Chain A
Amino acid sequence: MSARSVLLERGIILLLPVMLGALVMNSAYFLTLLTFILINGAIAMGTCFCMGRAGQITLAQSGFVAIGAYVAMLLTLRFGMPAGIGVVSAVIVSGLVGFALSLPIMKLKGHYLGLVTLAFSLVVAEVATHWTSVTNGASGLYGIKMPSIPFLELNPRYEFLLMLTVYWFAVYVVADNLIRSRYGRAMQALKYSEWGAQSSGIDITRVKTEVFAISAAMMGGAGAFYAYFIQYIGPESFTLELSITVIAMCILGGMTDIRGALVGSALVSVMNEPLRAYPQVQPLVYALIIIVMIIFLPKGIVPSLVGTFANRRKRRRLAGAATDAT
């Protein structure tokens, strides 16, 4: 892909939430929906990065999102820190926890890795419930104001959306740049062949650790935005359902393509809306999405589209070569 088309693609991705948000500027409902699409999108990108590109199964989403949310919330609530510092700290702390978590589970693969990361999410929820002096236990934390952009007099929800867009876009660029580089190739080698990677001189222990930390950091930042937007967090804000929803998003959009996370998070978030009145149906719908996709479109929407276009271009090129020859 040429540098120009990458730039164009990124421009479109950056403008989409900004434009859509401007269109629905007066609707709190649609601005909230967009906000959730972006928050989920950032978590989904972290998931695609770790699972789809580096092959490391993770169910730690809700754990890292919770850590990011609590770090940001506590800094603002207890120390009066501005949201910017809250988000950056959430990214750093989640990243460090991701790094620490990756060390003991280095040797695990596949389902075992899934189980341990699932356990991690549960432990984080337990800590949030029982460490009452810091987290206020099951009652949760509240009492901050939604941050806004100084000197701008727009709908505060739109201002928030703009700030979130900056973070969301940064996550996209970081992930995409890593994927399109020496580092991304090492991640792919780790996913498909640990032996092949090592015999090519790739330190897979290091790549695994870093990938885990990076994806945890992406999720933690999303958690911070969640906390600032809802202005209330408690242990039940970050249940395992969050991890499963995000994985459903990635499977729908396409696990192996970071753009799949964007498409999947948008589709599932929108689909979620009519279901909000029936919370007991939601898990069924996610399960259905996962099963239907695995049967009919196992690669997910974006990789399948990319594949179709690539094939068509190849056929056209071959056809062109054939007519040149005659």
Chain B
Amino acid sequence: MLSITGASKRFGGVHAVDAVSFEVPRGKIVALIGPNGAGKTTLFNLISGFLRCDSGSIVFESKAIEGLPPFRRASHGIARTFQHVQLLPQSSVLENVMVGLHLSGRAGVLSSVLRPRSQRDEERRIEEAAREALRRGGIEHLADETPDSLSYGMQRRIEVARAMAMNPKLLMMDEPAAGLNDGETEDLGRLIRGLRDTGITVLIVEHSMPLVMGISDHVVVLDYGRKIAEGTVDEVRANPKVIEAYLGVEEGQSDA
């Protein structure tokens, strides 16, 4: 569904992402892991369009999306959440999720000012869909709260609900478990598996190994901007390069 071929991004002399290629198959949960500074978030931003590749290609559903701005990639069905939540802190949770339904509306300046029936119907439809997204995310009771009065875990769930309201084909989550406690992380894992079971493809960057190992169908490992391994959870776990990247090696053993 998504294929990345030879994606590279340099910042000055640093190869943040260096000729990385991998595939995200439809209907699977793919995890992108690696030590701090491995280039995971950079790669994420290349895919969602907040950064542009220096070279390489990104193809989504057989369309080349490299070169499109982020909002166009969103309209192709790519939704994402952020490592640091990007919500409207003082708008209601309902309105936050309604932002995610931007693409399912069409009203521009003129029809928003004049409010013809079509615009009012559209607003009603968007609100209904947002409430439905909150219900599916299990947070409908928070509809009238504002994110700045809620816990970090809840804010993440709002972001997920907003992304899900877009009815995406691919959901990208950047460290969704960061700052969550164990219970919240388990809930999150259940939530993500539930999403996959409804047919959504998930690409996730994550540090929490219990989460990654618990839910992923496929794991891609980055280190210093390069892909060093990929495979199933068990394959990756047994791969000596991965162990080396995470734990380091004793001197004299590095040739092994």
Contacts and interface: CB of A to CB of B under 8 A. Distances in A.
Interface of A: 173-174, 177-178, 181-186, 188-189, 191-193, 195-204, 210, 214, 256
A191 B90 CA distance: 11
B168 to A, nearest CB: 10
A182 B103 contact: no
A200 B166 contact: yes
Interface string B64-80: 00000111001100011
Given A199-B86, A200-B166, A182 B70 contact: no
Greatest chain A CB density within 10 A among B48, B90, B122 is at: B90
Interface of B: 48-50, 69-71, 74-75, 79-80, 82, 86-91, 95, 98-100, 102-103, 105, 107-109, 112-115, 119, 122-123, 126, 162-163, 166
A89 to B, nearest CB: 19
Contacts, number: 101
B112 A200 contact: no
A202 B102 CA distance: 7
A199 B70 contact: yes
Given A189-B102, A196-B162, A198-B70, 13 more contacts: A173-B113, A174-B113, A178-B112, A182-B105, A184-B112, A193-B86, A195-B70, A195-B82, A196-B88, A199-B70, A199-B86, A200-B166, A256-B90
Contacts of A256: 90
Contact of A183 (B48, B75, B86, B108): B108
List the 7 closest A-B pairs by CB distance, nearest first: A196-B86, A201-B74, A193-B86, A201-B103, A181-B112, A198-B70, A183-B112
A200 B99 contact: yes
B109 A200 contact: no
Contact of B107 (A174, A182, A191, A197): A182
A182 B122 contact: yes
Contacts of B163: 199
